[in-house]
Amino acid sequence: MALSANPRDLVNLRKQLAFYGAYHTNPVNVGIHIVGVPTIIFGAQVMLASRGPLEVPAWLAPVLDSLQAHAPAALAKYAHFDAAAVFASAYWVYYFLLDSVAATALLPLWAGLYFGAQYLLAEHAHVALKYGLYAFAAGWISQFYGHGVHEGRAPALLDNLLGAVVLAPFFVWLEVIFHLGYRPELQKHLKNDVGKLVHEFRKEKASKQRSVKAQ
């Protein structure tokens, strides 16, 4: 089951979440993702930041200088224009296009992962990369465990790598705030959409199994 190729669907929150949610219907697997996905992001941030700073484009330099000048000293100390910053910014902008309110609420936690990675590299450089790799690996192992043991279905990345990898953090964030009462109508629609997609998947799977037996 692949996601629609229509470019407009890339910023269609309901379609994106329904696609990803169809692979995450088991509560235990969802809980594993709520912990495991941020762990992966943190590990990725550490590994990306360890590559060092990038050259700042001339047009961007005044903007970054202004941001750093107005940021609290404790944060400015660990703010760098590197691959981790580009990664975090690009992901967050996409989430903002999907749902500006949810993305804004996520921002403190999202920034916390970035600055946590920068702090680890700056203050514990001799072990930072090792811990980042451990976090990244542990996060992915937990995902495959959740899918294999509890969900009983392969991860979404096997059908749509880009969509699954990019959307995962926003999906788990929305799972959390849905339980806090955020956009109940959207949550209701998504449950219906996911139910239909799961039914289609099971129908296709049963059809393939019958074909194999008939051969």
List of residues 6+ apart from 18 with CB closer than 8 A: 190, 193, 194, 197
Rounded to whole angstroms, the Cα distance separating 132 from 117 reads: 8
* Residue 160, in any domain of the structure: yes
Query: What pLDDT, on the 0 to 100 scale, is given for residue 74?
Result: 86
**How far from the centroid of its chain's Cα atoms is residue 213's Cα?**
39
Torsion of the alpha carbons at 131, 133, 135 and 137, rounded to the nearest 10 = -150
The per-residue pLDDT for range 157-200, each reduced to its tens digit, is 767 777 778 999 999 999 999 999 999 999 999 999 999 999 88
What's the whole-number mean pLDDT along residues 135-148?
Answer: 97
Rounded to whole angstroms, the Cα distance separating 170 from 96 reads: 10
Name the burial class of residue 181, with classes exposed (0-12), middle (13-18) and buried (19+) by CB atoms within 10 angstroms of its CB.
exposed
Query: What pLDDT, on the 0 to 100 scale, is given for residue 212?
Result: 67
* Residue 12, in any domain of the structure: no
List of residues 6+ apart from 81 with CB closer than 8 A: 53, 54, 56, 60, 64
The per-residue pLDDT for range 63-74, each reduced to its tens digit, is 999 998 999 998
* Residue 196, in any domain of the structure: no
Degrees, nearest 5: CA angle 161-170-129: 70
* Residue 13, in any domain of the structure: no
Domain that holds residue 79: 25-180
Total domains in the fold of the chain: 1
**SS3 sequence, 158-189?**
HCCHHHHHHHHHHHHHHHHHHCCCCCHHHHHH
> Tokens representing 203?
């129908």
Burial 8-23 (b: 16+ CB within 10 A, else e): eebeebebbbbbbbbb
Amino acid at 50: S
* Residue 139, in any domain of the structure: yes
Indicate if the alpha-carbon torsion angle 206, 171, 117, 67 is positive or negative.
positive
Query: What pLDDT, on the 0 to 100 scale, is given for residue 215?
Result: 66
* Residue 16, in any domain of the structure: no
* Residue 60, in any domain of the structure: yes
* Residue 4, in any domain of the structure: no
